[in-house]
């Protein structure tokens, strides 16, 4: 009997704004909250694993949330200082993870987390946003009345830009360096429409040339990881000399995390600037669908440094924001071997052939430019796909 697949909920288009929370001694309260949320996650994951071993399915949020209420009243009263909707968000996150485990082959079941690996908390209520600061409502135990009372704390953040739309919820995130970030999620769907240019372009990804456009333009990647590889190796060598778990060891770990964050920020900034430039110049942008897992097995670190998947997601978002048409051709669409002039396939073409001549019509081709032209044609019509 075939298992019935649950229908995926259609994702709502929302916009997220990221701000850095300023360093302050009371940020320790945020760290304590994330550590307690990690305990909540691990506790309910044990219950789910036990339920799965006995019944072969997961308990679900609607069984676990009433159980959380009993725990807060009896054995785990120390969790009650965290807002209830933040605790419920941990259970909802587990519920979604188990749904994916049962519905999608190849997706693993949820894992236990260390306290330094649980990094985000969601607030749907119990917060107040003002210019440059946010107020979170925690609870503290009052000895006189012998019950929890609200204790509202203010946290300052660097507001480098204003958010638009109605705030749906906020998230507090702690990265590997130990810096806290505020994410404000709004329902803003406004677009910054750019003037039409009437131009279309196909883009072919490559290992030597990052992006080859169908108009003949070639864009090279700065390869930020390769630029910082010598410094990264030096930091890892320094880490290997430290006693694991010591203060100097943790200091070296944070230095590595800080450099990795810097590399990722450089790469992301370049991706955004490149995507914005393409949207300003073209009305339709077509790319290919890559088998990134297979490419990583062949080229490893180089594919991770180029980050094709991240750029495609950024380009898709930018096309939505600026009202551009973004299309992707199928992974198995023939784009490299067909001649862009006559359409005949060159079956003898190898990966080392960067320049080749069509044996049918005699047209000379640059391998990447020819593929970019075929990508654009496949995105606009079924001409190449039918060859």
- Catalytic residue numbers, as ranges: 204, 288, 368
Residue 67 half-sphere exposure toward CB, CA atoms < 13 A: 12
Question: How big is the chain, counted in residues?
Answer: 387
Classified as helix, coil or strand, 180 is strand
User: Tokens representing 46?
Assistant: 């044990």
Residue identified by tokens 């001409």 is: 383
- Determine contact, residues 174/31, Cβ cutoff 8 Å: yes
**Beta partners for residue 136, in sequence order:** 127, 153
Beta strand pairing status for 180-186 and 284-288? unpaired
* d(C-alpha 333, C-alpha 238), whole Å: 47
- Cβ neighbourhood burial of 369 (10 Å; 0-12, 13-18, 19+): buried
Write down the H helix ranges in the chain.
Answer: 28-55, 61-73, 84-103, 224-227, 229-240, 247-281, 292-299, 301-306, 308-321, 367-380
Identify the helix (H) or strand (E) that includes residue 327. strand 325-329
Report residue 216 CA to chain centroid gap: 31
* Dihedral sign computed on CA atoms, order 116, 119, 125, 128: positive
- Cα-Cα-Cα-Cα torsion 26, 28, 34, 37, nearest 10 degrees, comes to -80
222 neighbors 199 (Cβ within 8 angstroms):
no
CB 202 within 8 A of CB 373: yes
Beta carbons of 174 and 197 less than 8 angstroms apart: no
**Backbone φ and ψ of 47, nearest 5°:** -65, -45
């Amino acid at each position: 009997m075939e298992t019935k697949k649950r229908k995926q909920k259609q994702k709502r288009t929302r916009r997220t704004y990221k701000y850095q929370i300023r360093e302050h001694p009371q940020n320790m309260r945020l760290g304590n909250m994330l550590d307690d949320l990690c305990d909540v996650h691990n506790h309910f994951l044990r219950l789910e694993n036990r339920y799965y071993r006995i019944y072969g399915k997961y308990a679900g949020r609607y069984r676990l949330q009433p159980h959380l209420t009993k725990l807060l009243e009896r054995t785990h009263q120390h969790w009650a200082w965290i807002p209830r909707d933040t605790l419920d968000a941990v259970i909802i996150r587990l519920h979604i993870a188990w749904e994916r485990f049962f519905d999608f082959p190849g997706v693993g079941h949820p894992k236990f987390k260390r306290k330094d690996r649980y990094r985000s908390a969601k607030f749907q209520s119990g917060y107040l946003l003002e210019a440059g600061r946010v107020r979170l409502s925690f609870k503290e135990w009052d000895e006189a009345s012998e019950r929890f009372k609200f204790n509202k704390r203010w946290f300052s953040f660097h507001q480098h830009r204003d958010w638009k739309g109605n705030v749906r919820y906020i998230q507090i995130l702690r990265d590997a360096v130990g810096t806290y970030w505020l994410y404000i999620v709004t329902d803003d769907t406004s677009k910054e429409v750019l003037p039409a240019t009437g131009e279309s372009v196909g883009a072919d990804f490559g290992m030597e040339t990052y992006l080859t456009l169908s108009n003949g333009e070639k864009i090279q990647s700065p390869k930020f990881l390769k630029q910082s590889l010598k410094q990264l190796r030096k930091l890892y060598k320094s880490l290997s000399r430290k006693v694991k778990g010591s203060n100097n060891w943790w200091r070296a770990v944070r230095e590595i995390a800080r450099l990795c964050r810097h590399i990722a920020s450089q790469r992301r900034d370049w991706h955004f600037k490149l995507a914005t430039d393409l949207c300003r110049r073209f009305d339709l942008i077509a790319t290919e669908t890559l088998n990134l897992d297979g490419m990583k097995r062949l080229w490893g670190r180089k594919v991770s440094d180029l980050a094709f998947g991240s750029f495609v997601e950024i380009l898709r978002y930018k096309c939505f924001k600026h009202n551009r048409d973004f299309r992707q051709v199928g992974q198995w669409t023939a784009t490299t071997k067909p001649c862009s002039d006559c359409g005949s396939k060159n079956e003898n073409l190898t990966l080392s052939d960067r320049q080749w001549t069509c044996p049918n019509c005699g047209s000379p081709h640059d391998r990447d430019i020819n593929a970019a032209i075929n990508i654009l044609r496949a995105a606009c019509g079924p001409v190449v796909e039918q060859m």
